[in-house]
Every structure is written in structure tokens, then in C-alpha cells.
């Protein structure tokens, strides 16, 4: 079988589904491929929180600010109930070092117009009534965040794209590429060869594995396996999603070989608690859960929420998440291979999906984009060609 498309998207997670929607909407004959089902990667494993701030601020904030305006009208754009709700974000602070890091961050965020407020320990329960502040110095509170249902968002993008002609190939891994005179020509899959003028890798943690098929490796890109678990539904309603300030102490680089457990709690719209997260840098994609990981998560959660002691855990999971050593995503054309693009390793992923999809469609149809992608170009300082 040999079929030709204007654009082929590889990976049907948050990013690939959005790319497929905006490319199809722009009138390009588009196909999407995934080695599993839709949302087979990290996008099946996440909380759906709409974070509006990344660890890195200089380049990510302008991107997130641009994305916010698109995100505000996304339900109308897709004509879909995404289960959107407003939710605060709270970063509980455990020590002086975290307090100093987050008080600097509070000022930076305020300067750039992101609602952010340092809260003392004795005020924490005003922000999050069920928290036990006894081991805490305070927290950094973001009033203006939110949550949606991850599967509704991905399903909405793909359904609407299908209505504009998207062709979908699931359980169909890309196993090779063909190049001709420096231009990408086609992908190889168990279902045959498919050619395209443009091929976009939205393959998250797997991106370097595909790069190697082309003799490329993006050195800045690595991945971690992140674990989380879900409880039975609860009557208690958390007002925020919470992530330990230790994430900011750690920086963008997770020490190799170390299993880290930092509290990250959210409550789904159905009332289930999502409890995380432990993570470690990996060189394999085995999604088994390491020994002690779930106990570590439980311990870090119970320290601040003893109220959750008697909860029943329904299940736990692990997923590979793409990450970069400079905290910035890889977005844009791949230097030296005409027609090949990357879009991966975003941090506040949910909120940027419409902007990234639109940016890819602009790059492919006009050669330029409204979003300045200079800092995100895949070949920045760490591009290794074999």
C-alpha cells in the first residue's frame, strides 16, 4: 500500500492530536499514526491540570501568554464540552531554601502578569482547607489555573480533525523513514509506506528513538518515567492542584539513577484523587512501577494530608515523559531535513496545545509563525548528527 498526504503527524497524544486538528482545518490532507491507540503515551497518564507557568520563565511565559487567549475560546472552537473548570495551584513550601526560590519567583511572575501570592503557613488552610500545615512554612498560590478532562480534549481534536478529512492509523508504529536529497519523503509502517510533503514528530519521550532512524539524536532531550495512582472518589473537594515546591529546588535536571518522590495531588472532576508523583530518569520504556514508588508517594502525600489516610487506591501507573535539560520544548523544523518538524517536551502541555497546533499549521502553510520559535528550535546548541 502507498498513500500520499500533505502532512503526516506521528504520535496521537495532546500535541499530535492538536497538530492533526489545525493541519486538517487548514485544508491539508493529513494522516496521524500512533504505535498504540490515541493517548497511548504520557497523555493517558496525566491529571489534565492547566498550569500557566513553567519552571523556565523567559521563553515559556510569552508562549503560555499567547496560548491563553486561544485556550479561552477552545471549547467554542471545538464545539465540545472539555470538562473545563477553574482550579487554583498551590506549591507547599517545606524549607527556607524553597521559600527563597519561590519568593523570587513570586515577584517575577507578578511582573509578567501571572497571578501569584506567597502565603504563610497560618493562612494555608484559607487557600486549601484540608491541608495540614504543621510541617510547612507556607506556599505559593496561583489563583488562575484550571483543569479539564484529558481524554475529552484529545478526542475533541481528533473527532473534529476527522470531520475535516484526517485519516487515522492506530497500532501502527513508524519503523523507518525515507529521505531523498535532504528532504523527508515517507514513513515505513507495518501497514505499508506512506509519503508526505511534511512529517511532524509529536512522539514525546520516544522522539530520540525515531531520530536515530534518521541518524539524529537531540542531545538536550531525555525522558523520565513518572508514576502516579488514583483513589476511589471522595466527598472532600480540593480547591487546588498541589505540587511540592521541591520541584523548583530540583531544577530542570533530575539526577540520574535517583527515584524522586515529590507530592503532586489533584482531584478529578469525578472526585477521585490523583496522587503522585515519583519519577526517575530512564533509558528504557518499561512502564512497570519501581519497588517502593507507591509507598513513597503515599508517604509524601500523607505528610500534608493525614486526612487521606484511609483511602483506597484503585490503581497506579507509570508513563514516559519527554523532558529537556534546558527546560524548553523542541518545536520547529529540523535543520538539514527539509519537511521534518518536531513538537515535543512541553511542560505546561495542556494550555499550549492550541497554540502549538496552530503554530505547526502556520509553519507548514506559510513557512513562518506568529509565535517566535527561535529558542525552541530542535537544533539549538545540543544537536548531534551521526
**Binding stretches for ligand FAD (CB under 6 A):** 10-16, 33-36, 40-43, 45-49, 51, 173-174, 202-206, 210, 226, 228, 276-277, 319, 321, 344, 346, 348-350
CA–CA distance, 243 with 51 (Å, rounded to integer):
11
29: nearest Cα among 155, 147, 167, 139: 167
CA distance 74 to 259: 37
The closest of 46, 33, 19, 53 to 186, measured between CA atoms, is: 33
Nearer to ligand FAD (CB atom), residue 40 or residue 382: 40
Minimum Å distance from CB 116 to ligand FAD? 18
Minimum Å distance from CB 349 to ligand FAD?
A: 4
Which residue, 137 or 200, has its beta carbon nearer to ligand FAD? 200
Nearer to ligand FAD, 133 or 359 (CB): 359
For residue 172, the minimal CB distance to ligand FAD (Å) is 7
Please say whether the beta carbons of 26 and 165 come within 8 A: no
Q: What is the DSSP string of 32-55?
A: EE-SSSTT-SGGGSS--EE----S
Helix (H) or strand (E) holding 90: strand 85-93
Of 174 and 242, the one with the shorter C-beta distance to ligand FAD is 174
For 306-368, where are the E strands, in sequence order?
Answer: 313-324, 330-333, 340-344
- CB of residue 205 vs ligand FAD: minimum separation in angstroms? 6
Give which of 188, 197, 227 is closest to 337, Cα–Cα: 197
Q: Of 313, 230, 297, 229, whose CA–CA distance to 260 is shortest? A: 297
Residue nearer to ligand FAD on the CB measure, 116 or 262: 262
Closer residue to ligand FAD (CB): 48 or 339: 48
Residue number with CB closer to ligand FAD (311 or 319): 319
d(CA 22, CA 20): 6
- Closer to ligand FAD by Cβ: residue 123 or 173: 173
Please report how close the Cβ of residue 140 comes to ligand FAD at its closest, in angstroms. 17
Q: Give the shortest CB-225-to-ligand FAD separation in angstroms.
A: 8
We find the least distance from the C-beta atom of residue 346 to ligand FAD, in angstroms, to be: 6
Cβ(330)–Cβ(378) below 8 Å? yes
Indicate the burial class of 288 (C-beta count within 10 angstroms; 0-12, 13-18, 19 or more).
Answer: exposed
Shortest distance (Å) from residue 45 CB to ligand FAD: 4
Amino acid at each position: 500500500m502507498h498513500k500520499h498526504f500533505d502532512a503526516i503527524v506521528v504520535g496521537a497524544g495532546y500535541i499530535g492530536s492538536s497538530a492533526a486538528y489545525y493541519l486538517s482545518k487548514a485544508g491539508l490532507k493529513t494522516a496521524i499514526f500512533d504505535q498504540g491507540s490515541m493517548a497511548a503515551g504520557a497523555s493517558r497518564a496525566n491529571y489534565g491540570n492547566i498550569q500557566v507557568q513553567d519552571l523556565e520563565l523567559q521563553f515559556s511565559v510569552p508562549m503560555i501568554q499567547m496560548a491563553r487567549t486561544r485556550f479561552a475560546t477552545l471549547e467554542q472552537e471545538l464545539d465540545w464540552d472539555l470538562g473545563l473548570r477553574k482550579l487554583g495551584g498551590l506549591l507547599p513550601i517545606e524549607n527556607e531554601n524553597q521559600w527563597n526560590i519561590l519568593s523570587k519567583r513570586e515577584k517575577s511572575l507578578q511582573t509578567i502578569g501571572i497571578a501569584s501570592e506567597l502565603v504563610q503557613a497560618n493562612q494555608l488552610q484559607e487557600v486549601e482547607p484540608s491541608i495540614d500545615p504543621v510541617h510547612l512554612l507556607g506556599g505559593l498560590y496561583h489563583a488562575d489555573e484550571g483543569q479539564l478532562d484529558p481524554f475529552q480534549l484529545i478526542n475533541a481534536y481528533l473527532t473534529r480533525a476527522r470531520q475535516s478529512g484526517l485519516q487515522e492509523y492506530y497500532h501502527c508504529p513508524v519503523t523507518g523513514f525515507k529521505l531523498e536529497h535532504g528532504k523527508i519523503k515517507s514513513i515505513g509502517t507495518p501497514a505499508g509506506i506512506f509519503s508526505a510533503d511534511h512529517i511532524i514528530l509529536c512522539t514525546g519521550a520516544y522522539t530520540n528513538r525515531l531520530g536515530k532512524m534518521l541518524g539524529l539524536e537531540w542531545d538536550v532531550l531525555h525522558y523520565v518515567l513518572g508514576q502516579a495512582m488514583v483513589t476511589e472518589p471522595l466527598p472532600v473537594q480540593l480547591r487546588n492542584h498541589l505540587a511540592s515546591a521541591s520541584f523548583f529546588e530540583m531544577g530542570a535536571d533530575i539526577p540520574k539513577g535517583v527515584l524522586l518522590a515529590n507530592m503532586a495531588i489533584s482531584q478529578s472532576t469525578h472526585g477521585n484523587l490523583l496522587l503522585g508523583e515519583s519519577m526517575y530518569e530512564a533509558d528504557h520504556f518499561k512502564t512497570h512501577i519501581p519497588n517502593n514508588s507507591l509507598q513513597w508517594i503515599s508517604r509524601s502525600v500523607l505528610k500534608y494530608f493525614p486526612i487521606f489516610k484511609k483511602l483506597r487506591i484503585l490503581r497506579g501507573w507509570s508513563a514516559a515523559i519527554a523532558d529537556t535539560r534546558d527546560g524548553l520544548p523542541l518545536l520547529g523544523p529540523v535543520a538539514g531535513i527539509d519537511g521534518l518538524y518536531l513538537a515535543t517536551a512541553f511542560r505546561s502541555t495542556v494550555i499550549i496545545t492550541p497554540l502549538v497546533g496552530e503554530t505547526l499549521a502556520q509553519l507548514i502553510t506559510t513557512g513562518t509563525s506568529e509565535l517566535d520559535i527561535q529558542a525552541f528550535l530542535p537544533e539549538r546548541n545540543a544537536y548531534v548528527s551521526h
